[in-house]
């Protein structure tokens, strides 16, 4: 306690991919073939004294984030998972070198990068030239909420669901991965909030209350259809942020 779900595994409790899932994309040549992750300068969680008993299941402590205020100039370990022949890393347009990626490197390229805010960009290439790019961007303070429903049309059968991703964005539309704001939810129309949640494995918040602290700048709401057709509107608000609303159509059988 307060751990209530594991931090290992490919998919978290909100159905989001964890770092090792992106690595498996590279190994199996399926899905996203280039990803950037950073080892935090301080551990995300306290070291588990029983780690050796479960180390074969765990993954290294890395996150897809380039917001490290207070660590300017400090070297950070960067890992790039790459299914291509080589990858070059750039920080604010300046090359940090090229690394080959193959079976011998286990398809991982590593750098030690002195932190400075901006854009950390990986450019992968094969024999035919540039093949893929990915980047991490230093986000500003959150300014607004974005709601994205996986299904904007559901059935009015009292059972159908729509999963709504909640993201906290800066003024340029980048998710602030450091944001942990409390977000409040309200619903109108023929539907209910079935559950709220986040990927935080140590959160003790209720899954039934219409509020949740964001974790790494996002959380999730599960909307359940009623038995009457109509428009369901989910509203999200948080102190100091522009609110958001998403509309989900609930259709008759």
Q: Domains, the chain, ranges and CATH?
A: 19-137 (2.60.40.10), 144-251 (2.60.40.10)
Asked if the model's pLDDT at residue 251 lies above 60, the reply is yes
Band (pLDDT 50/70/90 cuts) for residue 100 is very high
Q: How far, in Å, are 80, 91, 100, 143, 187 from residue 211 at the CA level?
A: 35, 37, 46, 18, 12
Residue whose C-alpha is closest to residue 119's, from 36, 43, 180, 32: 36
User: What pLDDT, in 10s, does the model give residues 104-139?
Assistant: 999 999 999 999 999 999 999 998 887 899 999 999
Percent of the chain with pLDDT over 70: 95
- With beta carbons less than 8 A apart as the criterion, state whether 137 and 217 touch: no
Residue 163, Cα to own-chain centre: how many angstroms?
A: 15
Q: What is the pLDDT of residue 5?
A: 79
Q: What is the pLDDT of residue 78?
A: 99
User: What pLDDT, in 10s, does the model give residues 172-218?
Assistant: 999 999 999 999 999 999 999 999 999 999 999 999 999 999 999 99
Asked if the model's pLDDT at residue 13 lies above 80, the reply is yes
How far apart are the C-alpha atoms of 15 and 77, rounded to whole Å? 27
User: What pLDDT, in 10s, does the model give residues 207-250?
Assistant: 999 999 999 999 999 999 999 999 999 999 999 999 999 999 99
Residue 30 CB partners (closer than 8 Å, separation 6+): none
């Amino acid at each position: 306690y307060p751990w209530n779900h594991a931090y290992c595994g490919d998919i978290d409790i909100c159905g989001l991919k964890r770092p090792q899932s992106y690595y498996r994309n590279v190994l199996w040549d399926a899905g996203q073939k280039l990803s950037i992750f950073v080892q935090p300068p301080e551990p995300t969680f306290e070291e588990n004294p029983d780690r050796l008993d479960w180390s074969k299941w765990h993954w290294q402590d890395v996150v897809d984030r380039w917001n490290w205020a207070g660590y300017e100039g400090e070297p950070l370990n960067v890992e790039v998972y790459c299914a291509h022949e080589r990858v070059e890393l750039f920080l604010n347009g300046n090359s940090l070198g090229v690394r080959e990626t193959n079976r011998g490197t286990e398809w991982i390229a590593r750098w030690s990068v002195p932190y400075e805010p901006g854009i950390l960009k990986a450019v992968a290439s094969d024999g035919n030239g540039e093949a893929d790019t990915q980047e991490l961007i230093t986000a500003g303070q959150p300014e607004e909420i974005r709601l994205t429903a996986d299904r904007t049309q559901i059935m009015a059968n009292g059972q159908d669901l729509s999963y709504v991703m909640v993201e906290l964005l800066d003024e340029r539309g980048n998710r602030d991965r450091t944001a942990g704001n409390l977000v409040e939810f309200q619903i109108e129309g023929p539907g209910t909030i079935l559950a709220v949640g986040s990927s935080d494995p140590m959160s003790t918040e209720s899954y039934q209350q219409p509020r949740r602290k964001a974790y790494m700048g996002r959380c999730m709401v599960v909307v359940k259809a009623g038995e009457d057709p109509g428009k369901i509107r989910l509203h999200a608000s948080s102190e100091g942020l522009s609110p958001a609303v998403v509309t989900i159509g609930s259709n008759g059988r």
